[in-house]
Amino acid sequence: MSGRPSLSAEGRVWLITGPDGKLMDDIDTDMIYHNAHLAVTEVSEMGRYAFGNLEGWRDFPEKVRPGDIVIAGANFGCGSSRQHAVDCFRALGVGALVVESAGAIYFRNAVNSAFPLVIAPGIGESGIKQGDSVSIDFETGLIKDLDRPVVFRARPFSAVQREIYLAGSLFAVRPS
Amino acid sequence: MAGMTFAQKALAAAAGRERVEVGEILFVEPDVCLSHDNSAAIIKTFGSMGAERVRYPERTAIFLDHCVPAADERYAANHKRIREFVAEQGIVHFHDVNRGVCHQVLAEQGLARPGGIVAGSDSHTTTAGAFGAFAAGIGRTEAASIWATGRLWFRVPEALSIELAGEFPPGVGAKDLALKIIGDIGADGALYMSVEFSGPAAAGLSVSERMLLANMGAEMGAKNAYLPPDEKVERFLEGRPEPYESRPLFPDEDAEYARRLRYDLSEIEPGLACPHTVANYAPVREKAGTRIHQALIGTCTNGRIEDLRAAAEVLRGRKVARGVRLLVFPASSEVYMQALKEGLMEVFLAAGAVVMNPGCGPCLGAHEGVLAPGEVCISTANRNFKGRMGCKEAEIYLASPETVAASAVAGEIALPPAYGKEASREG
């Protein structure tokens, strides 16, 4: 851990799309991190299983590079409470996760473990293309496509999300 | 000013406030923090936070249920670490591999109580809402943080009201209703919301049926689910441990709900969730005749004594079809014991079922009946995600215990025999 985390990210985009080319909705925790690997307790071991049960994306851990940004559809991470489904992206060095909406527990898992998750309803229609580079400002929610003239406004971090993110973990945050 | 929903009242009470508004962030101290085999990972996070002592060992409940007894060395090592931690920290509520599924045992140990705040590192923690508790699923970091500090933040959720009227037709029950609701509103139909059931028919439901509805709330995306506590809940809790005081709470008449739904139970029919999502609803009659290879009765959804009785009723004097494996998992040792006393296990064994030990079984694909490629399973569980029961090329249908038992006998998806039999309910 070196210094305060930055409230922004910049990186190459992975649009998690289905056969129809659209962002997939309802990607559940078994697709993100299959139950066969639940006994794993070391975060660094979890990356290799990311999207291991998601049709068309099983080779994601080999393709993704640290700093890349993952964009997915609605109700991302619905299902189980397993935090492996957040930590597998942390282990791969993913810079931020941007989704139309997230499962209730998934959202809290990301927020409370200080992983940058941005809620962006409508991002699927934004015009951002596979492989583009984007910048994201977590404080304003502004997402800029660096390869074409597309600017998208996602939801900014909430006060509690910002506080936990900057503190680096839920544990460091005290009630006011 | 509008009244408050149950969720507002429960969180206000826990935060020591008169009133709270939707969207507010509150720090509260849960009455119970639940976790299971994943406690091994929580222990690691707890340690990496620099925490040394569990703040409230008497509010910490750990159940071994997901892979019991351990199927491999990795699970065995996790269980061992958990037992050591329980001893080191003096964790008060620990239940080892013999006891059953966490949500069932939580209730049997009196840890799910009216007005209680239950935070559980399992998505189906919503089950405790059947007792009028505010019960929500959390993750590993959150559980570790509660262990360390005794508290956690919550955002006061919006609420969805579901009013129930009428009576179920014969052969139809709470599972059929839950599958219908999820089919109607979708897997995110109640995302982040407090799902609050009400109406005369809700009061008519047994504690077991209420647990089912609250359990399946998780599959609508709910933060928590709630059924109004009454004398049925009191009776269930009678004679059980009382780790904290009950504080029954009820939503105000004029509470503000983000959405209101109403269901007439007399219009519900035997239903299914078809592969590979819980929201993929179909009436059983539309899929009748679909060949199956395995049938599963049990889990935190439908492994209670009422479920075993309903299944045994269908199986009595009948045989499981050739080529079908029927697996029966009582939800807890208490349920198992009761089923033995009532002679239900004899019915299952005589029918050709495999009676298993209390626990989650193959529901999450760890062991004890995983599927092979191309196989079809009909199960009373709550999830049919692709690969859920261990195999990515298998199909899972979800249904009631009656439908699963009838299907096991037929060798194909079939309607419960009681359905459509005595439609006459005059007078």
Asked if residue B368 belongs to a domain, the reply is yes
Asked if residue A83 belongs to a domain, the reply is yes
Per the CB < 8 Å rule, is A81 touching B137? yes
Asked if residue A176 belongs to a domain, the reply is no
Helices (H), A33-103: 60-63, 84-92
Domain that holds residue A40: 8-168
User: What pLDDT sits at residue A43?
Assistant: 95
| A124, A171, B123, B209, B394 from B221: Cα distances, Å | 21, 26, 10, 19, 24
Domain that holds residue B64: 7-15+24-240+257-263
pLDDT in tens, A95-114: 999 999 999 999 999 999 99
Name residues of chain B where pLDDT drops below 70. 422-427
User: What pLDDT sits at residue A90?
Assistant: 97
At B143, which CATH number? 3.30.499.10
Structure tokens given for B306: 């009422």
User: What pLDDT sits at residue B421?
Assistant: 81
Q: Which residue of B has its CA nearest to A28?
A: B385
Mark whether B35 and B79 lie in a shared domain: yes
Asked if residue B419 belongs to a domain, the reply is no
Asked if residue B381 belongs to a domain, the reply is yes
Q: Which residue of B has its CA nearest to A74?
A: B188
**Do the Cβ atoms of B159 and B169 come closer than 8 Å?**
no
Mark whether B300 and B207 lie in a shared domain: no
Mark whether B224 and B303 lie in a shared domain: no
Mark whether B162 and B89 lie in a shared domain: yes
Per the CB < 8 Å rule, is A103 touching B44? no
Last residue of a domain, one of B263, B297, B327: B263
Per the CB < 8 Å rule, is B188 touching A101? yes
Is residue B17 less than 8 Å (CB to CB) from chain A?
Answer: no
Asked if residue A3 belongs to a domain, the reply is no
Per the CB < 8 Å rule, is A109 touching B141? yes
Asked if residue B252 belongs to a domain, the reply is no
Q: What total of structural domains would you count in chain B?
A: 2
Per the CB < 8 Å rule, is A39 touching B74? yes
Mark whether B282 and B373 lie in a shared domain: yes
Asked if residue B38 belongs to a domain, the reply is yes
List the pLDDT tens digit at each of the 176 positions of chain A. 446 789 999 999 999 999 999 999 999 999 999 999 999 999 999 999 999 999 999 999 999 999 999 999 999 999 999 999 999 999 999 999 999 999 999 999 999 999 999 999 999 999 999 999 999 999 999 999 999 999 999 999 999 999 999 998 887 776 55
Chain A closest-CA separation from residue B39 CA (Å)? 10
Is residue B22 less than 8 Å (CB to CB) from chain A?
Answer: no
Asked if residue A80 belongs to a domain, the reply is yes
Asked if residue B229 belongs to a domain, the reply is yes
Interface test with A, best of B36, B75, B118, B123 (most A CBs within 10 A): B123
Q: What total of structural domains would you count in chain A?
A: 1
Mark whether B68 and B210 lie in a shared domain: yes
Q: Which residue of A has its CA nearest to B76?
A: A39
- What 3-state DSSP class applies to A102? strand
Mark whether B190 and B126 lie in a shared domain: yes
User: What pLDDT sits at residue A53?
Assistant: 95
Stretch 225-284 of chain B: residues touching chain A, C-beta under 8 Å? 277, 279
Of A39, A107, A170, Cβ closest to residue B75: A39
Mark whether B209 and B308 lie in a shared domain: no
Q: Which residue of A has its CA nearest to B23?
A: A158
User: What pLDDT sits at residue A171?
Assistant: 79
Give the percent of chain A with pLDDT over 70: 97
User: What pLDDT sits at residue B423?
Assistant: 53
User: What pLDDT sits at residue B424?
Assistant: 47
Is residue B137 less than 8 Å (CB to CB) from chain A?
Answer: yes
Indicate the DSSP class of residue A45. G
Asked if residue A133 belongs to a domain, the reply is yes
Asked if residue A104 belongs to a domain, the reply is yes
At A156, which CATH number? 3.20.19.10
pLDDT in tens, A125-136: 999 999 999 999
User: What pLDDT sits at residue A1?
Assistant: 44
Report chain B residues whose CB lies below 8 A from the CB of A72.
Answer: none
Mark whether B227 and B308 lie in a shared domain: no
Which residues neighbour B6 within 8 Å (Cβ) at sequence distance 6 or greater?
B132, B134, B159, B194, B196, B226, B249, B250, B251, B255
Stretch 301-330 of chain B: residues touching chain A, C-beta under 8 Å? none
ipTM for this prediction: 0.92
pLDDT in tens, B9-22: 999 999 999 999 99
Asked if residue A173 belongs to a domain, the reply is no
Asked if residue A89 belongs to a domain, the reply is yes
